[in-house]
């Protein structure tokens, strides 16, 4: 099926609209037909990654000099939401890759990341993040693991990473660890660890409520050696990279995933209310039941509100101002709640048909619960937001 997607020009020259069109093509031809089966089987879609690579979308935000398309958060959000409308698991894989690529793309001058960037631009390299640890749970900004000097300029890392999206499918992992000589709990450094590195292994299968096809497994680093060239931030500069590069795009991206899920839920609910009928009344559910219409409307209202928020955040990222960090935090918190609210309403509105999997709604509903769970969680975001509003220190 993926074969039906026209081979694009090299990624480097792509407009916003072209990128979105390619995402629509892939969503329709590669993602949608396989989403239900991949969800059921918990199967990672290598086909989807392949299609994203061939169409240049893996290099979407890399600068032109690295062979990327040089596009920004607006296109990234549109592509991610489009993918999520068909398969949120793939959208999350894409999102995590984009974060990895952006982190690598902003590597310190001493790092050697040219080949990796070239591979990403060429669509041959999928990256991802490996931040959260079992010991510090959702507080991803505070690793428990500490890198140790290996005597030849590099480090050795032993860590228990949880929730690594695309685990065993990515070509590289952005790994965080406390800096060898760091003193504060956020004095951390980032490294890019290639897939085949000795000591790096997937620690278990992935079996979640939702996003079942994104291979979010735990991974173990056991005395894993990382040479100096693959240290991508200066010692202790990892936290800053997390806050300035990863967090804004991650929050935008998860909001885009939530938006895609919400849109899919609205469409599926409307379709069900139009097609399902009370034979004894000779009416569709939608015609017969004002209270179901009210629920559908509430879903639509919430979905478009999230869309407006995403647009607003994009505007803030394109033209940063004082309130930008607040918007970054607010948007993910709202997106997580909105996706749950909208898909929960869809479950209610479609009742038994949704519950017994006659529609895709229960998949949207399960997938929707991932966003609120991924750190920074809603509780943490609200704590940060309140501290900013009250003028209290964040950490």
The smaller minimum CB distance to a copy of itself, of residues 4 and 389, is found at 389
Cis ω for the linkage preceding 109 (within 30 of 0): no
Residue numbers 247-266 binding a copy of itself by CB under 8 A: 266
Among the listed residues 318, 337, 316, the one whose alpha carbon sits nearest the alpha carbon of residue 258: 337
Identified binder of a copy of itself from the candidate list 61, 333, 342, 346, rule CB under 8 A: 333
Contact between residue 199 and residue 223 where contact means Cβ atoms under 8 Å apart: yes
Q: Any bridge partners for residue 191, and if so which?
A: 175, 231
In angstroms, how far is CA 280 from the centroid of its own chain? Answer: 46
| Interacting span for a copy of itself (CB under 8 A) from 17-25, 82-90, 206-214, 220-228 | 206-214
368 binds a copy of itself (CB under 8 A): no
Identified binder of a copy of itself from the candidate list 41, 278, 283, 395, rule CB under 8 A: 278
Identified binder of a copy of itself from the candidate list 1, 209, 244, 318, rule CB under 8 A: 209
Identified binder of a copy of itself from the candidate list 185, 194, 199, 227, rule CB under 8 A: 185
Cα(371)–Cα(84) distance, integer angstroms? 12
394 binds a copy of itself (CB under 8 A): no
The smaller minimum CB distance to a copy of itself, of residues 317 and 334, is found at 334
Which 3 state secondary structure label does DSSP give 224?
A: strand
202 binds a copy of itself (CB under 8 A): no
354 binds a copy of itself (CB under 8 A): yes
Identified binder of a copy of itself from the candidate list 33, 180, 304, 324, rule CB under 8 A: 304
Identified binder of a copy of itself from the candidate list 9, 124, 149, 274, rule CB under 8 A: 274
Identified binder of a copy of itself from the candidate list 78, 92, 273, 339, rule CB under 8 A: 273
Residue numbers 85-144 binding a copy of itself by CB under 8 A: 135-139, 142, 144
163 binds a copy of itself (CB under 8 A): yes
């Amino acid at each position: 099926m993926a074969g039906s997607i026209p081979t694009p020009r090299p990624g480097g020259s792509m407009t916003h609209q072209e990128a979105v069109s390619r995402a629509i093509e892939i969503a329709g031809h590669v993602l949608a037909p396989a989403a239900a089966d991949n969800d059921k089987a918990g199967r990672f879609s290598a086909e989807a990654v392949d299609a994203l690579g061939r169409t240049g979308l893996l290099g979407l935000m890399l600068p032109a000099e690295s062979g990327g398309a040089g596009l920004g958060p607006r296109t990234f959000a549109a592509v991610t939401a489009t993918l999520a409308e068909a398969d949120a698991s793939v959208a999350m894989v894409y999102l995590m890759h984009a974060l990895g690529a952006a982190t690598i793309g902003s590597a310190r001058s001493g790092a050697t990341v040219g080949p990796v960037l070239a591979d990403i631009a060429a669509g041959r390299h999928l990256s991802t993040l490996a931040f959260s640890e079992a010991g510090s749970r959702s507080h991803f900004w505070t690793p428990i693991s500490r890198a140790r000097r290996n005597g030849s300029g590099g480090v050795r890392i032993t860590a228990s990473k949880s929730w690594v999206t695309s685990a065993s499918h990515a070509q590289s992992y952005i790994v965080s660890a406390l800096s060898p000589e760091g003193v504060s709990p956020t004095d951390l450094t980032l490294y890019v660890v290639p897939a085949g590195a000795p000591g790096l292994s997937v620690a278990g299968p992935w079996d979640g409520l939702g996003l079942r096809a994104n291979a979010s497994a735990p991974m173990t680093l056991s005395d894993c050696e990382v040479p100096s060239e693959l240290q991508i931030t200066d010692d202790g500069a990892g936290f800053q990279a997390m806050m300035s590069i990863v967090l804004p795009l991650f929050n935008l991206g998860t909001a885009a995933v939530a938006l895609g899920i919400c849109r899919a839920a609205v469409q599926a609910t409307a379709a069900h209310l139009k097609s399902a009928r009370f034979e004894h009344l000779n009416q569709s559910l939608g015609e017969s039941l004002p209270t179901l219409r009210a629920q559908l409307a509430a879903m639509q209202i919430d979905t478009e509100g999230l869309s407006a928020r995403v647009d607003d955040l994009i505007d803030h990222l394109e033209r940063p101002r004082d309130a930008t960090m607040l918007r970054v935090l607010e948007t993910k918190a709202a997106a997580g709640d909105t996706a749950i609210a909208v898909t929960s309403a869809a479950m209610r509105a479609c009742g038994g048909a949704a519950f017994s999997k006659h529609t895709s709604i229960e998949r949207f509903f399960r997938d929707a619960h991932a966003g609120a769970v991924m750190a920074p969680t809603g509780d943490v975001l609200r704590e940060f937001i309140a501290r900013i509003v009250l003028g209290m220190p964040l950490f």
